[in-house]
């Protein structure tokens, strides 16, 4: 068998990310998706950003403009589409749990918590001060601007549900958040999360241009297999993985294409003037996973 120079280079170990946070092994090699800034674990296939995140870049990323300009056209204005999506996540949750205590990691402006506040005693955490202030003052929710890992006022084993919607790929140390989540959950308590699937047909087709490869904000890229392995390694039992679609406002779609993609802000402003704020489309590219996991009950528990 002939091995080309390029194939050999793709398989050469890269000293960047060992040990792998999914399988504890390695080595990491080049990611064959045309992105030199990504590396793949040769043992389990987990894809991550080479060299990790720059702390200064990370802290500056989650300023006010993350929700108004850098990632979203206007997160608050996009509330109808966002809450329609969260409404679908709530339907999934209710198949497993309908009441109790709930924590949301990465709650942003509180639009998800707002939908479950009547059924759950809930609180949220986010890094963006203006978002947390909105959740507290405008929506009268209980949200805190602090790192979830710094939360030490909640008794272990007291929480029924933890939600992390499109958050785990942003975390520098997702395994630490999962470990903390597990310790706070009751036995039999649920973790619900969404994240992209880098092994999906769309991600494999788009390679370096896959829409969820956002190098500034997304640090890790999971697949159905690697997210399952990480969760099981952190003591969770994976109950279900599905591929839900989502609603996207026409305004945000235009923003993604014209401003974030093509750098035509004036054209976007002109067109967005004519678009009804609640106009949205339902899309499913089957590249986002909704994962349901559970803290297993101890063997002696009979409940």
Site residues, Zn ion (CB under 5 A): 20, 22-23, 41, 43-44, 46
Q: How far is the CB of 292 from Zn ion (least distance, A)?
A: 23
Beta-carbon neighbour count of residue 56 at 10 Å?
Answer: 8
Q: How far is the CB of 34 from Zn ion (least distance, A)?
A: 21
CB 21 within 8 A of CB 37: no
Nearer to Zn ion, 151 or 225 (CB): 225
Nearer to Zn ion, 22 or 161 (CB): 22
196: phi then psi, degrees, rounded to nearest 5: -70, 160
Nearer to Zn ion, 21 or 254 (CB): 21
Nearer to Zn ion, 46 or 247 (CB): 46
Nearer to Zn ion, 22 or 191 (CB): 22
Q: How far is the CB of 15 from Zn ion (least distance, A)?
A: 15
**120-125 and 100-105 beta bridge pairing:** parallel
- DSSP 8-state assignment for residue 51: T
54 vs 61, 260, 289, 295, CA distance in Å? 11, 22, 27, 32
CB 99 within 8 A of CB 120: yes
Q: How far is the CB of 225 from Zn ion (least distance, A)?
A: 10
Nearer to Zn ion, 39 or 135 (CB): 39
**47-49 and 220-221 beta bridge pairing:** antiparallel
Q: How far is the CB of 16 from Zn ion (least distance, A)?
A: 13
Q: What is the CA radius of gyration of the chain?
A: 20
Q: How far is the CB of 33 from Zn ion (least distance, A)?
A: 17
Length of the chain: 303
Cα–Cα distance, 296 to 303 (Å, whole number): 11
Cα–Cα distance, 199 to 213 (Å, whole number): 12
């Amino acid at each position: 068998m002939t091995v080309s120079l390029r194939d050999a280079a793709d398989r050469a170990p890269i000293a960047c990310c060992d040990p792998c946070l999914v399988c504890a092994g390695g080595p990491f090699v080049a990611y064959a998706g045309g992105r030199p800034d990504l590396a793949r674990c040769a043992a389990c296939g987990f894809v991550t950003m080479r060299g990790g995140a720059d702390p200064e870049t990370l802290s500056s990323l989650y300023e006010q403009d993350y929700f108004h300009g850098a990632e979203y056209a206007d997160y608050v204005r996009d509330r109808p589409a966002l809450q329609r999506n969260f409404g679908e996540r709530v339907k999934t949750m209710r198949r497993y749990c309908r009441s109790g205590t709930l924590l949301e990691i990465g709650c942003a402006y509180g639009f998800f918590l707002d939908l479950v506040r009547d059924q759950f005693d809930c609180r949220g955490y986010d890094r963006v001060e203006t978002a947390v202030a909105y959740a507290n003052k405008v929506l009268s929710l209980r949200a805190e601007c602090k790192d979830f890992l710094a939360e030490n006022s909640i008794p272990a084993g007291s929480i029924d549900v933890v939600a992390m919607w499109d958050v785990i790929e942003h975390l520098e140390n997702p395994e630490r958040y999962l470990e903390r989540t597990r310790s706070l959950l009751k036995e039999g308590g649920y973790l619900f999360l969404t994240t992209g699937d880098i092994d999906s047909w769309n991600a494999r087709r788009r390679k370096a241009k896959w829409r969820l490869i956002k190098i500034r904000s997304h640090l890790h890229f999971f697949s159905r297999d690697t997210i399952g392995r990480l969760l099981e390694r952190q003591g969770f039992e994976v109950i279900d993985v599905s591929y839900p679609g989502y609603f996207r406002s026409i305004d945000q779609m235009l923003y993604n294409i014209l401003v974030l993609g093509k750098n035509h802000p004036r054209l976007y402003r002109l067109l967005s003037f004519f678009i009804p704020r609640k106009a949205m489309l339902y899309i499913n590219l089957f590249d986002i996973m909704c994962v349901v996991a559970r803290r297993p009950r101890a063997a002696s528990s009979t409940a």
